[in-house]
Structure formats: structure tokens, C-alpha cells
Amino acid sequence: MLSWSPLAPHFYNLPFKIYVLLLGICSALKLTVPSHTIHGTEGQPLRLLVDYTFNMTISKIQIIWLFEKPPVSKYLISSVNQSVIADLEFGYKFTLMPPNASLLIKPLERNDEGNYIVKINIHGNGTISASAIIQVTVHVPVTKPRIYTEPPFGVVEKRGNITLKCTVEKGTHVVYEWMKNGNPIETSTNYSFSVNKDTLSIAPVVKEAIGNYSCLATNPVSAMESDVITPTIYYGPYGLTINTDKGQKVGRVFTLDKGEAVQLYCSADSNPPNIYSWIQRAENSTHPIKYGRSLEVAAEKVTQKTEYTCSAYNNMTESQAETHILVIIIPKGLEQLAQKGKYLSPLAIITGISLFLIVAMCLLTLWKRFQPHKVIQQKLQIRPEADYRKAQTISGHENALDDFGIYEFVAFPDPGGISRMSSRSVSGSDVIQGHDFHGTVYEVVRHIPEQQQEHQE
């Protein structure tokens, strides 16, 4: 098998042709070789091609082949016209078929590497000569290279270094080239090579270094690429975000309509996968509520505002990331009210509610005058304890919107009723005590519409 570098014929032939031309002017003998450097493959036959022309009448043509490997020079083979004389030392290794001056070496061996000199003498009206030198290198084709990774297992980002070594079992004059995702790797701040480029060092190792690495081993007679290796690099967690089951990315605050439920997903980029946990922050304490990526938040189960924290921990990098989200529940009725509020000032709402209260009070006062006290007393006894409790559990607040409901006024004619009330230490604005002109005590009980009560409990 023959191969020569593509540049050589042009590069070498130019001065050589001039040389032959100068000779030719006087001699009329022209000797040309296609390449002055030939790469042969060990074990294969190699032909050293030589061409010559002359334009004079001749009587003899002599061809001589010599081998030179400093410091030794050897005679190989020669011919005069059709008769060939070989050096018996080499047996049938070298073949010459005159008048063709090309030499066949069969088989080519490692120690056949060196310079081959061809000399042609033409004898006619005088003798003219021409010679050329051909440099032969003998190569062993490369086998498929293999990459060894050091360390063989994963490396933690920014902490460790990676060394990749490319090796071939066989192959001479091997040149190595490294590729990442199919593109050649250049020397840079993160990548460095050994002198012969068989070793690639990655330092520092960052997430960006992740990729498919391969090495290409070539010599003038062959080229082989290794399998791809993907070094394990541990990194993260990066870019921790919370998404919902509808796929939307949510910010720091998420509003949820009363009666709805949402699945929150926590995700962050890391290798190996993060260990996720959800934490709920109460006043001072924090307690984990769930391990895993997702968290179901049902409006029924949370108070008006709850902060959830998602924590992602990578046990290889020993890094942790946290992000939190505030879930706010919007009661159904209020949403509409709030929308009206855009056009109606909050003051107007408060005034409206106040007016309603005054009218209700007047009506009750009138109603009370036509009702016997006994009936009221009976009613009071029937009234379940729960109604009172309900009235009390509605905590005090400034927001007039929270006062939304139906109010009932209950009169207490006897002092027993008063003591009963005070013993319960009523403090909320929802339970109001007051004396009318006749010395009657009123208790205002708030009824929140049925549907809302359900959710409150």
C-alpha cells in the first residue's frame, strides 16, 4: 500500500525539475519521481516509482538502487539493459524490471525505513547520469484508540480535575487529536494537553465541561477514532424554581381561589438529581412537611397565607438551594367584591355595611317591643352553644370586608345573661354588648353565609 503526503509532489518537484532541467540541457536525460517522501505500511509491498526520458541514441541503460540509513549505505540492486543483478543478502525482497526503473520492495519491514537513491546512466555518444533520493518511512497502522479517565468515577465540579488519556495498542508515529461533541478541542484555560497530545487535562472542571469526548489517532497510513466517553461531573443545584401542575412558572407569591387545589413542583438542574423537601414556616418554627418534588396545596387545608419553602440538596456536591413561595387564598365572594372595589371606594362599602347595621338595629328594637320576653328567653335556651362559639371564633380584625355577614340581635332581659356573657370574656368586635333605653342587653350574633362557614371550619 502506498501513500504520500499531498503537498510533497508540488513542493519537492519544483526544485527537482529545475535540477533535472539544468541536467537535461546538457544531457537530454530527465528523471522524475512522483514523491520524495513515501509512507509505507509495514508488511505491505511498496513500489518506489521512477520515470525517465531521454532523446538521444543509446547503447546501454544502467539503473542502480542504493539504500542509505546513516551511517550505513548499501547496494540493493542494479540493471544494465535487461540484466538485473541483486545483492543476494536481500534475496527476492527487491525487484527491478528494466527498462522500468521503479523499485518494488516486498514486503516492507520496519528497518526498511531510510533513504533510497536511484541512479540512471545512459551510455551512447558519451555517458550521462541522473539520480534522485526517495525517503521512505514505515508505519504500523493504528488500532482503535481507547480513552482512560482519571479519576474513573465522577468528579465534583470546581473541586476535582479530569485527565483523559488516549492510547492505541498498535501504531507508529501516532498523532492525537481530541474532540468534544465532534469539534476539535483547542488549548484553553480549562483544557491542556501533554506534549504529544495523548493526554487531555480538564482543570478546573465546570458543568460546561460535560460533553462527549473522543480522541482521534492518526498516522500517515491510517486514522481511527475512539468511542465517545462522557465524564461524570457532579454539579448543582442550579436554577431552582417552583412550577405548577399547569406548567406555569410561579413567582414568590401564588394566589389560589378558595376551594381550589394546586400541585407545586420544585425543580433544579443538578447531577445527581437533587433530594427535594418542602418546608412550612410557621411563626418561629420550621418543619418539613414533605419529601419529594411535588406538593399538593388544597385551599381548604391552608390558612389565608402560608409560606412554603422548597429545598434542593445535592448530596455529591453537598450544595443546597432554597426558594420559597407564599400561597394566598382568596375567598370566592371577596374576589368579586374586590373587583367592585375598583369602582367602589372601600369607604363606600363600609358606609353601606354601617347603614345596613343601623337599619337592622332599628327593626330589631321595634320587633322586640312587640314580643313577650318569655319567648326570647325560650329561644335563648334553645340556641345552641355552638352559635356563640362561632361568633367568638371569628377573630377581631380591622378589615370591614371581613365583617361581611348577616347580623342577629339578641336581647338579654335578665342579669344572668349578662354574667354569662362577661364570664366568656368577649373581646371581638363581632360580639357587641350594649344597653338600650330600657336597660336591655343586646348580643349581636354574626351569621356568615352557609357556604363560607363550611370553609372556615
Ligand X SMILES: *[C@@H]1O[C@H](CO)[C@@H](O)[C@H](O)[C@H]1NC(C)=O
Q: Which of 55, 303, 423, 425 touches ligand X (CB under 6 A)?
A: 55
Q: Which of 111, 125, 183, 425 touches ligand X (CB under 6 A)?
A: 125
**Smallest distance, ligand X to C-beta of residue 234, A:** 10
Q: Which stretch binds ligand X (CB under 6 A): 11-19, 87-95, 208-216, 381-389?
A: 208-216
Q: Which stretch binds ligand X (CB under 6 A): 32-40, 56-64, 292-300, 413-421?
A: 56-64
Q: Which is nearer to ligand X, 275 or 350 (CB)?
A: 275
Q: Which of 181, 336, 378, 427 touches ligand X (CB under 6 A)?
A: 181
Report how far residue 324's alpha carbon sits from residue 132's, in angstroms, rounded to the nearest whole number.
82
**Smallest distance, ligand X to C-beta of residue 366, A:** 48
| Residues forming a β-bridge with 104 | 47, 95
Q: Which of 105, 136, 162, 209 touches ligand X (CB under 6 A)?
A: 209
Residue 161 engages ligand X in binding (rule: CB under 6 A)? yes
**Smallest distance, ligand X to C-beta of residue 339, A:** 35
**Smallest distance, ligand X to C-beta of residue 35, A:** 14
Q: Which is nearer to ligand X, 164 or 364 (CB)?
A: 164
**Smallest distance, ligand X to C-beta of residue 28, A:** 4
Q: Tell me the chain's radius of gyration from C-alpha atoms.
A: 50
Q: Which of 111, 183, 189, 248 touches ligand X (CB under 6 A)?
A: 189
**Smallest distance, ligand X to C-beta of residue 180, A:** 8
Q: Which stretch binds ligand X (CB under 6 A): 51-59, 85-93, 106-114, 386-394?
A: 51-59
Residue 395 engages ligand X in binding (rule: CB under 6 A)? no
Size of the site for ligand X (CB under 6 A): 29
**Smallest distance, ligand X to C-beta of residue 19, A:** 14
Q: Which of 81, 280, 294, 323 touches ligand X (CB under 6 A)?
A: 81
Q: Which of residues 289-348 bind ligand X (CB under 6 A)?
A: 315-316
Q: Which stretch binds ligand X (CB under 6 A): 50-58, 260-268, 330-338, 421-429?
A: 50-58
Using H for helix, E for strand and C for coil, what is the string for the chain?
Answer: CEECCCCHHHHHHHHHHHHHHHHHHHHCEEEECCCCEEEEECCCCEEECCEEEECCCEEEEEEEEEEEECCEEEEEEEEECCEEEECHHHCCCEEEECCEEEEEECCCCHHHCEEEEEEEEEEECEEEEEEEEEEEEEECCCCCCEEEEECCCCEECCCCCEEEEEECCCCCCCEEEEEECCEECCCCCCEEECCCCCEEEECCCCHHHCCCEEEEEEECCEEEECCCECCCEEEEEEEEEEEECCCCECCCEEEEECCCEEEEEEEEEEECCCEEEEEEECCCCEEEEEECCEEEEEHHHCCCEEEEEEEEEECCCCEEEEEEEEEEEECHHHHHHHHHCCCCCHHHHHHHHHHHHHHHHHHHHHHHHCCCHHHHHHHHHHCCHHHHHHHHHCCCCCCHHHHCCEEEEEEECCHHHHHHHHHCCCCCCCCCEEECCCCCEEEEEEECCHHHHHHHC
Q: Which of residues 15-34 bind ligand X (CB under 6 A)?
A: 24, 28
Residue 100 engages ligand X in binding (rule: CB under 6 A)? yes
- Name the residues that contact ligand X, by CB under 6 A: 24, 28, 51, 55-56, 59-60, 81, 100, 102, 125, 160-161, 181, 189-190, 203-204, 206, 208-209, 211-212, 228, 275, 283-284, 315-316
